[in-house]
Each structure stands twice: as structure tokens, then as C-alpha cells.
Amino acid sequence: MNADYVIVGAGSAGCALAYRLSEAGHRVLVIEHGGTDMGPFIQMPAALSYPMNMSLYDWGYKSEPEQHLGGRELVCPRGKVIGGSSSINGMVYVRGHAGDYNHWAESGARGWSYADVLPYFKRMETWHDGGHGGDPDWRGTDGPLHISRGPRDNPLHDAFVEAGRQAGYPVTGDYNGQQQEGFGPMEMTVWKGRRWSAANAYLRPALKRDTCDVIRALARRIVIEEGRATGVEVERGGKVEVIRANREVIVSASSLNSPKLLMLSGIGPAAHLAEHGIDVVADRPGVGQNLQDHLEVYMQMACSQPITLYKYWNLLGKGLVGAQWLFTKTGLGASNQFESAAFIRSDKGVEYPDIQYHFLPMAVRYDGQAAAEGHGFQAHVGPMRSPSRGNVSLRSSDPKAAPKILFNYMSTEQDWEDFRKCIRLTREIFSQDAFKPFVKHEIQPGNELQSDDEIDSFIREHAESAYHPCGTCKMGAEDDPMAVVDPECRVIGVDGLRVADSSIFPRITNGNLNGPSIMTGEKAADHILGRRLPSSNAEPWFHPGWQAAQR
């Protein structure tokens, strides 16, 4: 078994790499531990809470007890399936803010500024605005990834945007266009009523070529000979074998599994590898460090009118929605139901948004448990740039053992200040006139929780991960001791080896990470092929009064 390029992981970045490298005529072999993504629970957008709770499709990882969240172990789903996490995620599509990528470039990831990445976002997209306005000049028209908007026909979606406007925030027709800041429609990776995962967008078309294949196996370690990666040792059907890479090995196994695989292969913090009896190939102290995520709470309001999705929250309702979707790919089943969004700044002096809202016309938990109150709606809210940093380390040298994951959430005073602001700003939005016809009362946290201490204890008990882990194989300058890959995605200190997925993000981007992860695969492919798209000179919007005003 051999190929020019061996890619570990058929996830968001890996599928994009397979598509671009095979398109250029190279032989590509993708290794994926999970199985097929063809079940209705994956393909039907509204069923999104199912696959991430199914061991068939999810690695089933949990964090270590998080000491600042009362010792809770938080679940961190990662897709173990064709398409990776793009097959089990909430399908929300966010590019990230221009300021995020400019920060990457300033911190050592040269060539990854917003001007550099915008052409790749445009190349990967086919954008459907659905008649809801937007910025066509900033968007792609013929890429593999279809981006659409929901019908937004529930009056609560408009109420949310109007309440933001009444509270003094900008309204934006396209947060993925020139202006992210403000309230407006949310976008999703859904096309013709189906989840448009990286598998549907990239891998299926790539597999139609003679030059691309996928095999189902567990990657055990990268084979490194005389300082060069030459293949991947895998286990399949109970047998261990080596798949040879004639040119390069590319690790796209996620921010949790990529550092694990590097460490199992002798690349990582030398002392930690020695603890597990692993010979050091490259002492890279940054492998597994710099772990970041978005944490959020669900602000839930009881609704005074029976217009929420709760009316379908019974066996008959779910059956009807499911049947309509199965036969026609239309109706409520064809949307992830996140159809309004907002990005705002928490304070004056914050240059670009650091708070994100997902609005949902139902009060429900991510694991599918509906609020006891019946009809309600909710906003998921949380800070975008937490200063807390965690790490991923080895539990043992056994490739089948789960990695040890500690996010170290809420470990700084800044985290708590930012979160309290999120809750108070959200209450203010829900108290605007636009919501007067709909708000009965606050379900969660509940009006009685007002002081800092009361809000803090609510956060400690109820904050959940938004499932955006990243940063564990940081991209940076070659002389940065904590960098794992250089700006070409090459692992520093090993030849013929790259990492390309959300683990290379120097700092977490605004919003959901699926879009940036796919962009990373697209751009990494060009680095490998020795080409690049010309930089953009488009000027993104920053609030002109950001230094003096919060809105």
C-alpha cells in the first residue's frame, strides 16, 4: 500500500486536501478510523443532536475534571466517521473575523493574514443567499462547499435581529462578508436539504478519480526514518501494516488526535514522551499545548405564543418532520434551525467582536433534552477569545487509548468578567420591545440570579463547550520554541510531514471552526503544490468608534 500523499483523517481539512491533491494528478490515500456517513441522522440537518451523541460516529472523548467548573468532565465530541466533525456538527458556517487572521500573521504565521486567506474562502464556497441580502463580491460562486441560509420564517428570527437593532447594535446582511459585527441571518453548510459536509463537498468527488482512495484503519504512528516521515503504521482488521508515502504524510486528525499521533510518533515534549517510553524524534514542547475552545451558556426564555419548535417535540411531530425530509428533503428537517446570529463587542476598546450569538426558536439542550417549560427560545452566548489555555497529553503509549484532555476553562479572572457581560448584555437584548409580544419570563439563568456571585455559580454549573477545540499544534515562526508547524504547515524538525487542521490555529477564530478548518486544508494543499492564490485587497469593516463605544 503506498501513495504520493497519505492523509490521516477524512475530516474537514483532510477531505479538502484529498480533493485538491488528487485534482493536481497526485495519488492520494486517506486513512479514516470511522465508517460511512450515509445514515439519515447525519444527512438530515435538523437531526444534528443525534450523531454527536452516538458512539458509532463520535470518538466519545471527555475532558479531565475542570477545576474552575466545579470539577465537571465536559464532553468533547469529535467525528469518527467519513467527513469527520463536519458530519456531526451543527453545520453553522462562519469564516472568522479579519482581525483573527491578521493576528495569526502578526504572531508568526506569515502568509495567513486575512488578505491571504480570503481568496481561499472564496475558492471553496458556492454561496446561496436565499434572497436575504449579503455581500456577493466577498463570496465564492463555484466552490465545492455549498453555503445556504434557512427560510427564517419563524417570527422569532426577525425579533432577535430587530431587538439587536433596538439595543443600538449594527445590523449586517452578511457576517461572512465585509462586516461581521452586528445582528443578521446565520449561514449553514446545507444544500438541497442535506448536510453539506466535507465528505459530500470534497471527498465523494475526489473518490471518483482514479488517483484517490480511502481506507478504514486506525493510525498508530507515523513512520520516521532518518528524520523523514515515510509512512503511517495502521491497524486494520486486527493486523498492523505500514502504508508508505512516496512524497509526504499529512496529519489532519483533529486538534485532539493530531497532537496525540505526533506524540506517539516521537514528536512532542521530550520529558512527556520519556514518561511513556517513547523515543524522541523531535523535541517540540508545543505539541499538545495551547488548547483553546469556545465555552457558552444557553440563555432561555419562555415564549408566550405557541410558535416555537416545541410543537414538533413529540414522537408524532418528529415523525412528520422526518418523513417530509426523507421524501422531499424539505421542511423543518432541512435546516439546522440556527437561522439568526450576532457578533458584538463586549466593551469599548475591543477592536472587533468578541461575543457570538446563535439564536434558536426553541428551548432545548444540545443533547436533545427539551426545557420543562414547553414553548421557549434561546440564545447560545459566550466569549470568543478566552485567555485560558489547556493541553492534550498522552494517557499511555497505547494508540487505542483516548488522549488526556484538559481545557482549563475559566482559569482567569478575565474569563469570568467576560462571561458576566455576555449574560447581562443578552438580558438587555431580550428586554427590547421587539421581544415584548413573545417573552413570558426568563427560564435560565432566571431573573432571581443577578449578582456576580449568582451569575458565576450559574456559569460554573451550566457552561458547555461549543465544541470548537483548536490550537494544539500551533503554526508559527521556525524560531518560536512553542510552534509545531511553520507557515507552510511543515512539522518543524521532521521532513516530509505536515499538519493541516484546526490544531495549527495560533489563536481561536471568531465563531464556529468548520469553515476555517476547511480553508486550512484548501490553503495547505496549495503550499504542498507550491502555488498560492494572489492576496486580496478587500477592506474588511471595523467599527469606526470601537475605541470609544461598545456599540
CB count within 10 Å of CB 72 equals 17
Q: 419, 437, 462: which is the final residue of a domain? A: 462
- Confidence band of 259 (pLDDT split at 50, 70, 90): very high
Q: Give domain status of residue 219, yes or no.
A: yes
DSSP-assigned states of every residue in 239-306? EEEEEEEEEEEEE-S-TTHHHHHHHHTTEE-HHHHHHTTPPPSEE-TTTT-SBB--EEEEEEEEESSS
Please tell me whether residues 29 and 127 are part of one structural domain: yes
CA count, 13 A, side-chain hemisphere, 476: 19
Residue 26: per-residue pLDDT:
98
Q: Give domain status of residue 428, yes or no.
A: yes
- Confidence band of 504 (pLDDT split at 50, 70, 90): very high
Regarding pTM above 0.75, the answer is yes
Please tell me whether residues 369 and 485 are part of one structural domain: no
Please tell me whether residues 131 and 208 are part of one structural domain: yes
Give residues with Cβ within 8 angstroms of 114, minimum separation 6: 98, 99, 100, 101, 102, 536, 540
Residue 366: per-residue pLDDT:
65
Q: Give domain status of residue 364, yes or no.
A: yes
Residue 233: per-residue pLDDT:
98
- Given a contact cutoff of 8 angstroms between Cβ atoms, the answer to whether 63 and 78 are in contact is no
Q: Give domain status of residue 139, yes or no.
A: yes
- Confidence band of 299 (pLDDT split at 50, 70, 90): very high
> Does the annotation place 90 within a ligand binding site?
yes
> Does the annotation place 81 within a ligand binding site?
yes
Q: Give domain status of residue 443, yes or no.
A: yes
Q: At residue 132, does pLDDT exceed 80?
A: no
Q: Looking at the 3D structure of the chain, how many domains does it have? A: 2
Please tell me whether residues 415 and 353 are part of one structural domain: yes
Which of the two residues, 52 and 514, has the higher pLDDT score? 514
Least reliable range by pLDDT among 30-34, 133-137, 478-482, 506-510:
133-137
Torsion angle defined by CA atoms of residues 52, 57, 62 and 68, in that order, rounded to the nearest 10 degrees: -20
- Give backbone dihedrals phi and psi of 352, rounded to 5 degrees, phi first: -150, 165
Please tell me whether residues 170 and 276 are part of one structural domain: no
Residue 48: per-residue pLDDT:
86
- Confidence band of 365 (pLDDT split at 50, 70, 90): confident
Mean pLDDT of 81-90: 97
Q: Give domain status of residue 92, yes or no.
A: yes
Residue 367: per-residue pLDDT:
67
CATH for 142: 3.50.50.60
Residue 299's domain comprises: 152-185+295-383+411-462
Please tell me whether residues 325 and 434 are part of one structural domain: yes
> Does the annotation place 92 within a ligand binding site?
yes
Q: At residue 489, does pLDDT exceed 90?
A: yes
Residue 210: per-residue pLDDT:
97
CATH for 376: 3.30.410.40
Q: At residue 106, does pLDDT exceed 80?
A: yes
Mean pLDDT of 469-490: 98
- Confidence band of 373 (pLDDT split at 50, 70, 90): confident
Q: At residue 371, does pLDDT exceed 80?
A: no
Per the listing, cell 449561514 goes with 187
Residue 277: per-residue pLDDT:
98
Please tell me whether residues 454 and 422 are part of one structural domain: yes
- Confidence band of 53 (pLDDT split at 50, 70, 90): confident
Q: Give domain status of residue 507, yes or no.
A: yes
Distance (Å) of CA 92 to CA 358, 359, 511? 9, 11, 9
Please tell me whether residues 494 and 452 are part of one structural domain: no
Please tell me whether residues 433 and 332 are part of one structural domain: yes
Q: Is 468 a catalytic residue?
A: yes
Q: Give me the residues paired with residue 356 across strands.
A: 343, 382
Please tell me whether residues 158 and 146 are part of one structural domain: no
What counts of helices (H) and strands (E) characterise the chain?
A: 13, 23
Residue 49: per-residue pLDDT:
84
Mean pLDDT of 374-385: 96
Residue 518: per-residue pLDDT:
98
> Does the annotation place 408 within a ligand binding site?
no
- Given a contact cutoff of 8 angstroms between Cβ atoms, the answer to whether 418 and 346 are in contact is yes
Residue 368: per-residue pLDDT:
66
Q: At residue 133, does pLDDT exceed 80?
A: no
pLDDT tens-digit map of 458-470: 999 999 999 999 9
Residue 221: per-residue pLDDT:
98
- Confidence band of 427 (pLDDT split at 50, 70, 90): very high
Residue 52: per-residue pLDDT:
86
Distance (Å) of CA 190 to CA 43, 77, 136, 343, 358? 9, 21, 18, 21, 17
Please tell me whether residues 23 and 124 are part of one structural domain: yes
Q: 420, 435, 462: which is the final residue of a domain? A: 462
Strands 239-251 and 228-236, sheet pairing: antiparallel
Task: Give the three cell numbers for residue 189.
Answer: 453548510
Q: Give domain status of residue 327, yes or no.
A: yes
Percent of the chain predicted with pLDDT > 90: 93
Handedness of CA 487, 489, 494, 496 (dihedral sign): negative
Please tell me whether residues 303 and 355 are part of one structural domain: yes
Residue 129: per-residue pLDDT:
82
**Active-site option among 462, 468, 527, 543:** 468
